[in-house]
Amino acid sequence: VVRCVQCALAFRRRKSLISTDVATLLTSVEETPEPIPTVIKGNIPSWINGSFLRNGPGKFEFGESRFNHWFDGMALMHRFHICDGQVTYSSRFLRSDSYVQNLEKNRIVVSEFGTLAMPDPCKNIFAQFFSRFQIPKATDNAGVNFVKYKGDFYVSTETNYMRKIDPQSLETKEKVDWTKYIAVNAATAHPHYDREGATYNLGNSYGRQGYFYNIIHVPRGEGGTDGADLNGAKILCSIPAASSRKPSYYHSFALSENYVIFIEQPIKLDLLKFMLYRVLGKGFHEVMSWEPQLETVFHVVDRRTGQTRYYTNAMFTLHQINAYEDNGYLIMDMCCGEDGSVIGNFTLENLKAAGEEMDKFYSSLCTILPWRYVLPLEVKEEEPNDQNLINLPNTTATAMKTTTGVFCTHENLYNHDLLEYGGLEFPQINYTHYNARPYRYFYACGFGHVFGDSLLKMDLEGKKLKVWRHPGLFPSEPVFVPAPDAKDEDDGVVMSVVVTPRERKSSFLLVLDAKTFTELGRAEVPVDIPFGTHGLFNEMG
């Protein structure tokens, strides 16, 4: 019944999308390095004092060569500085080695996630041939997120490189290589922060002993140093891949007060193809495969003692909402789908389709929905098999002991009305006060289009939705900023950058009252802004 309802609602949504052209969301723009004023409509609360920092692709071609995948565009950093109810806007391209080299050659010379750089046409034919057998260096085009380590700001992607950033001027600073500090080949762009100021991340390593997923710990620091400082970083735990030849792709992980949770999902990277993908002329995304015959494994790592494994059906997740412990159980909420092939589908060719072709592409995407898993942290040997181990009230999630381990099924964290908005992604919570703790609210983008076209507030008490949606407007990931005198979890504002493809140079910073989810004000920007990925709010004293 649920699937029939999903199909009917999805069909209704798709019929309304055909006329919406989103190609302008993916058009290269110019940077705005000096802050410019914005036009304020409504009221921006005077207590907001800081900068909303955003990251994402902003340049999609060099000369005649064009990137193939949305993830490949050159990183463009954005800063909305808010003070006394006024807002200024600035942006800068990250001066990564990739950007500088592409610019100097006026063509793409550094390979990205979905784009393979072609051999230098100035080389002779033999040099061009043999260059295909060289494994490309990892890109430092850090266009996924703004992150913090020891109080300093960086931009990050999913390779071993980050770039330190001046959060005021957006000036590109030192290039940071994770491999100079710890034995990992890459790290995610979604670290977690605990209440003591330490940072956790997830990286990988591979060698003669196999392929490993590594939990990374970076101690707290005061920041403000001239250079990058990841000194003291260490690996807390190494988890061997189920298959060293075909490890899992991951984008993020979950953190509770005492546990780090890595989700080994059946999106597989074929390392043999990866070694040969330059020879085969394929992009990195083409060596990934969705293998739904495999189970998903939750690796739950106690930060002090060790790890435990739990299992569930094949599923796909990019972003987790929250995780916390409750009376001997680990509660884990995530945005999940049933088809992990979606990552490779976000090519610029697909995203720039129009009319029926866009409708067809959208129809092919799986709906991402919020799921809850409940994992029993202590399973006694005498527990009988095939009986539900979950005794918490108000959840339909199950966990059953089997001959091979503990098998979990999820609870849907939504009612049918969410399906009218196409599911959701880019979840955010009141992270400062409620990450790794019991919580009630989360915020996300609704996906009635291939890009988010609504903002949602989910109340987990009753799974009730509040919605901000206007036709033709495409909001970014919502970020919650708590009010200074907050008493309730949702006392504060939600910020989002809204892109307007139907009208150029009219995008704006939207500020919603988080409690009522109604608009307080907006700051209109007189320059074009492309659709971005992630960001954060940098509060200032």
pLDDT per residue as tens digits for the range 114-171: 888 865 555 544 443 444 444 557 899 999 999 999 999 999 999 999 999 999 999 9
192 labelled binding-site residue = no
Kindly write down the DSSP assignment for every residue of 14-71, as one continuous string. HHTTTT---GGGGS----EEEEEE-EEEE---TT--EEEEE--EEE-EETTEE-SBGG
| pLDDT score of 120 | 55
319 labelled binding-site residue = yes
Give me the mean pLDDT over the 87-114 stretch: 95
d(CA 534, CA 284): 22
The percent of residues in the chain predicted with pLDDT above 90, rounded, is 73
433 labelled binding-site residue = no
534 labelled binding-site residue = yes
- Identify the residue with better confidence: 64 or 6: 64
pLDDT band at 364; cut points 50, 70, 90: confident
| pLDDT score of 23 | 78
Where helices occur in 436-510 by DSSP H, the ranges are none
d(CA 186, CA 140): 11
100-to-29, 33, 154 alpha-carbon distances in Å: 17, 17, 18
Contacts with 414 (C-beta within 8 Å, 6 or more apart), sequence order: 369, 370, 458, 463, 465
- pLDDT at 246 > cutoff 70: yes
Kindly state the tokens that stand for 428: 């955010």
Give me the mean pLDDT over the 228-255 stretch: 94
pLDDT band at 283; cut points 50, 70, 90: low
